[in-house]
Amino acid sequence: MSKQWATSKNGAFQRQVSSFRETISKQHPIYKPAKGRYWLYVSLACPWAHRTLITRDLKGLSSVIGCSVVHWHLDEKGWRFLDMEKLVEDKESFLEHWHDAAGGIETAREDASRSFAAIKNDSQRFMVDASNEPHYGYKRISDLYYKSEPQYSARFTVPILWDLETQTIVNNESSEIIRILNSSAFDEFVDDKHKKVDLVPEHLEAQIDDFNSWVYNNINNGVYKAGFAEKADVYESEVANVFEHLDKVEKILGDKYAALEDKYGKDDRQKALSEFFTVGEQLTEADIRLYTTIIRFDPVYVQHFKCNFTSIRAGYPFIHLWVRNLYWNYDAFRHTTDFDHIKLHYTRSHTRINPLGITPLGPKPDIRHL
Ligand SMILES: N[C@@H](CCC(=O)N[C@@H](CS)C(=O)NCC(=O)O)C(=O)O
C-alpha cells in the first residue's frame, strides 16, 4: 500500500505546500472575474475544502461559481468522482437516487439517522456519496492536476479552484481561495445583501491573521499532527498541544460570552449569540477556519485521531455553544456540513489507522441542539 501521508524520520506528520497560487481579479492578466467561468472541486469530508464551501455560500456565490463533490472514500489513487457511465448502466439505482440530486449539494440532510452499515466503499449514489465531474467526464481529481500540469508530481489535494476557460487550476490553497471568494472580485454578480458581506474587515484583519495563525498550527493542523504521528512520543506531545490550545480558545470565548451577558443581560441569549464570535463582534474568516475543525472534533478526531482528553461537548461549554450557534443559526454552516462524508472518509480511508474500516456510530447525535 502506498503511504497515506508523509512523515519525517522522527514520525511527525508533514503537510505538503500547495503549488497553484494564482488569484482572480479585474487587474489579473488571465484570471478575470466572470460568472460561470470558475469551478470548485471539493470533498465534504475535508476541513480545508469545507472552508471554501462556507465562504462561497456566505458570499452568495453558489450560482456564480459551480461545484463538484468527490466521493468520501480516498484511495491510493486519490479522490474520485462518481462514474456517470457506470451509473447510467445501473439505471435502477440511478433513478432510485435521482431525487437526491434535485437539491444538489446545497441541500442539508438533517436526518442523521441513516445506518452506516448499508454504505459500501464502492457505492455509486449520485449527490449522496459524490457528484460527477460535469465538464470533462473525469473520474479522478488527479485528472485535473495532469490537465493543468502534465508533469505534476505532488499529492492531488482538494480544494481546487479551476478555470474553465484556460482549463487550469487557479489555486489549490484553501486559505487563499477563501480570500479570493471574499474579495470584491465577484461583487457585480451578487445582490446587495451579499456585496456587504466582508469576512475579513480591515479593522479586524490583523487580529484575524494572528488568530488564524496559531489556530492553524495548533488546532486545524494540530489534530492531524496528533492523528498521523507514527511514534507515541510525537503523538503524546501533539495531543497535549491540541488541548492546550483548545483551552486557550475556550478562555477567549468564555470571556467574550461573559461580556455579552453583561451587555444584554443573562436572559437574552439570542442577542448575545448574535455577537458571539472568535474575533470582534461579527462573523469572520476566523470563525470559518476554526469551525471546520471543531465540527469534526467529536465525531472523528476524538476517536480516530486519538484526541481524547475530553470532547467538545463534555469539556468545552463555550466552544460547544459557539459551534452550535454557527451550525444551527447559519445555513452556510449547516448546509455544508455532512457528517456522513466526514465520518466515512476518515474511518474508511485511513486503513493504517483503522484497518477493518468499521465506522464508529457515535457520538449521538452528531451535534446537539442549541
Ligand atoms: N493546503 C491545502 C491542504 C489541502 C489538503 O490537505 N487536502 C486533503 C484532504 S483533507 C487532501 O486532498 N488529501 C489528499 C491526499 O493527500 O492524497 C489547503 O488548505 O488547501
Domain housing 119: 38-195
Please tell me the predicted confidence (pLDDT) of residue 120.
53
> Is residue 339 domain-resident?
yes
CATH code at 189?
3.40.30.10
Structural domain total, the chain: 2
Q: Ligand 1 pocket check: which of 1, 44, 48, 296 to mutate, most ligand atoms within 8 Å of Cβ? A: 48
Quote the pLDDT of residue 129.
84
On whether both 144 and 222 belong to a single domain, the answer is no
Q: Is the CB of 48 under 6 A from ligand 1?
A: yes
pLDDT of residue 96: 55
- In this structure, the answer to whether residues 181 and 83 fall within a common structural domain is yes
Catalytic residue among 31, 41, 138, 224: 224
| 224 given a catalytic annotation | yes
In a domain, 257, yes or no: yes
Q: CB of 159 closer than 6 A to ligand 1?
A: yes
Cell of 57: 455560500
pLDDT at site 182: 98
Do the domain assignments include residue 27?
A: no
CATH code of the domain containing 244: 1.20.1050.10
Per-residue pLDDT at 357: 87
Asked if 183 and 233 sit in the same domain, the reply is no
What are 172-221's pLDDT values in tens digits? 999 999 999 999 999 999 999 999 999 999 999 999 999 999 999 999 99
Question: Based on the domain organization, do 122 and 224 belong to the same domain?
Answer: no
Decide if 21 is inside a domain. no
pLDDT of residue 252: 98
Q: Are residues 62 and 161 in the same domain?
A: yes
Q: Are residues 280 and 319 in the same domain?
A: yes
Find cell 508533469 and name the residue. 151
Instruction: For ligand 1, atom 13, name the residue with the nearest CA.
Output: 157
Give residue 87's Cα distance to chain centre.
27
Is residue 30 in a domain? no
- Burial label, 100 (beta-carbon count in 10 A; 0-12, 13-18, 19+): middle
Asked whether residue 215 falls in the same domain as residue 92, the answer is no
Q: Are residues 121 and 52 in the same domain?
A: yes
Integer Cα distance of 152 and 149 in angstroms:
5
Same domain for 116 and 177, yes or no, is yes
122 with 229, same domain: the answer is no
Output the nine-digit C-alpha cell for 288: 470559518
Backbone angles phi, psi at 210, to 5 degrees: -65, -45
pLDDT of residue 107: 30
Look-up: residue for cell 468499521? Answer: 358
Q: Is the CB of 4 under 6 A from ligand 1?
A: no
Q: Please state the atom number of ligand 1 nearest to the C-alpha of residue 49.
A: 20
- Please check whether residue 3 lies inside any domain of the structure: no
The grid cell for 188 is 457585480
Kindly give, in sequence order, each residue whose CB lies less than 8 Å from that of residue 225, ignoring residues fewer than 6 positions away. 12, 13, 234, 238, 241
Q: Are residues 94 and 207 in the same domain?
A: no
- 99 CA to centre of ligand 1 in angstroms: 30
For residue 360, is the peptide bond before it cis, meaning its omega torsion is within 30 degrees of 0? no
Boundary-marking domain end, from 146, 167, 195: 195
Collect the ranges in the chain with pLDDT lower than 50: 1, 98-114
Residues 53 and 136 in one domain: yes
